[in-house]
Every structure is written in structure tokens, then in C-alpha cells.
Structure 1
Amino acid sequence: MPRPVHFEVHATDPERAITFYATVFEWCFERWGDRPYWLISTGQGPGIDGGLVPREGPPPEDDAPVNAFAVTLAVDDVDLTTRHVEQAGGTVVMPRSAIPGVGWLAYCKDTEGNVFGVLQSDQDAA
């Protein structure tokens, strides 16, 4: 069964996106190769690493439905994380909601208009 092994963030302004993800999630970025491409290290433990690349084409429309293969990140506190997202220039597009028996989920947009999820585990969520 195929499993995700890498993800990419497409950014109109790569430096702005790097600042956003480094601030909110403490991800590390390293320029790679001769092209404008950055490797993303998301930390230790379970999960995958990715890359950041300049966007080719227009950014997603503000009012467009989710039109992506959205990545969801495990976080300790959804409320704290969504506050950090907003403080770093992102937005919350779907506030915290319960997934019974799993936890609390919210969807956010980064500074580049990309949608991602944040999930706090909580078996008592209802």
C-alpha cells in the first residue's frame, strides 16, 4: 500500500512562507540545488519531511473550496496553534470541530493561500 513520503508547499513568496512555517511549527528550511527549492525538516518522530517551491501560476482564490490534497499536522493544542497561525499572518478557514473518538480538527490557510489541517488528539472529543 503506497504511503506519503514527501510533501510540497507552493508559495508566491517563498521567504514569507518560510517565515510563516518556521514561526508557527518551528520547521527548518535548507536551500537545495541550483533551482529555487528548499528542503523542509519537520522534526523528529513519526511524520514526513517536504519541500518548498515557488508557485507556478495564480494562487488559490480566497473563496474557492478546498482544492488540494491537504496535509494535516498533529499538534498538542489546536486553539493555541490557530492563534499562532493568525499571529503569523495566516487565517483559520474552518474553526475547531470535534471528530468523535479522534480529536479536534481545524483547517487554516498559510500566507500563500494553501490550506492545511491541524489535529489535536483527544479520544473524548464529541
Structure 2
Amino acid sequence: MPRPVHFEIHASDPERAITFYTTVFEWSFERWGTEPYWLITTGEGQGIDGGLAQREGPMPEPDASVNAFPLTMEVDDIDLLTREIEQAGGRVVTPKNAIRGIGWIGFFGDTEGNLFGLLQPDPAVE
């Protein structure tokens, strides 16, 4: 079964994106090589890490149809993270919705127009 092993975020303003993801998720970024590319460490233990690259071409239009392969992250408190996302300059694309027997899911936009999801597990959700 294929498993995600890396993800990549494209940013028109990499420093702004680094500030956003550091503020909201406490990810760390390390410049890699001479290109405008940063390795992303998302935490310790099980999970995946990724990279951040300088976007080539225009930034996607906000609230346009999905033009990405959204990455969804498991979180303990989707409501808290929603507030932190908005305070850091991100936006709610779809408010949290119940997935019966799974939990709560919502989709959000970062400061660069990228889409990502948050999932708060809760098997009791109806």
C-alpha cells in the first residue's frame, strides 16, 4: 500500500510561509543547499517530513477549485488550531465537519494559497 513519505509546500513568499507553519504547528525549517528550498521537520516519531520550495508561477486564486494534493494532519483540538490559523493569516476553506465514527475534519488555506486539512479523531462523532 502506498504511504506518504514526503510533502512539499510551494510558497510565493517562503519566509512568510515559514512564519505561518512555525507559529501554527511549531514545525522547524532548515535551508537546504543553495536553491530556495527548506527541509521541514514536523516533529518526532511517526509521521512524515517535507520541503518548502519557492513557487514558480502565480499564486493560486483563493477559494478556487482544489488544485493541489491536500495533506491532512491529525490534531488534538481542531477549534484551537482554527483560531491559530486565522490569527497567523490563514483562512478557513471549509469549516469542521463530522465524519461519523472518525472525527472532525476541516480544510484551510495558508498564507500562500495552499490547501491543507486537519482531522481531530473522535470515534463517538455521529
TM-score of Structure 1 vs Structure 2, range by shorter chain: over 0.9
The CA distance in 1 between the partners of 2:4 and 2:96, in whole Å, is 25
Describe the superposition over 1:19-69 as per-residue Cα deviations: whole angstroms up to 9, x where unpaired. Answer: 000000000000011111100000012210000000001111113111211
Q: How does 1:1-126 map to 2 (within 5 A)?
A: 1-126=1-126
Q: Which runs of 4+ in 1 moved over 3 A?
A: none
Q: CA deviation at 1:103?
A: 0.5
The CA distance in 2 between the partners of 1:15 and 1:56, in whole Å, is 15
The CA distance in 2 between the partners of 1:59 and 1:95, in whole Å, is 23
Q: Which one-letter code corresponds to 1:44 in the other structure?
A: E
- Structure 2 gaps of 5+ residues are none
Residue 86 of structure 1 aligns to a residue in which SS?
A: helix
TM-score normalised by L of structure 2: 0.97
- Structure 1 gaps of 5+ residues are none
The CA distance in 2 between the partners of 1:111 and 1:81, in whole Å, is 15
Residue 60 of structure 2 aligns to a residue in which SS?
A: coil
Provide the aligned length of Structure 1 versus Structure 2: 126
The CA distance in 2 between the partners of 1:76 and 1:66, in whole Å, is 25
User: Identity of counterpart residues, as a percentage?
Assistant: 68
Residue 43 of structure 1 aligns to a residue in which SS?
A: coil
The CA distance in 2 between the partners of 1:96 and 1:5, in whole Å, is 26
RMSD of aligned Cα (Å):
0.8
TM-score normalised by L of structure 1: 0.97
The CA distance in 2 between the partners of 1:5 and 1:63, in whole Å, is 27
Matched-pair contact (CA < 8 Å) for 2:93–2:108: yes
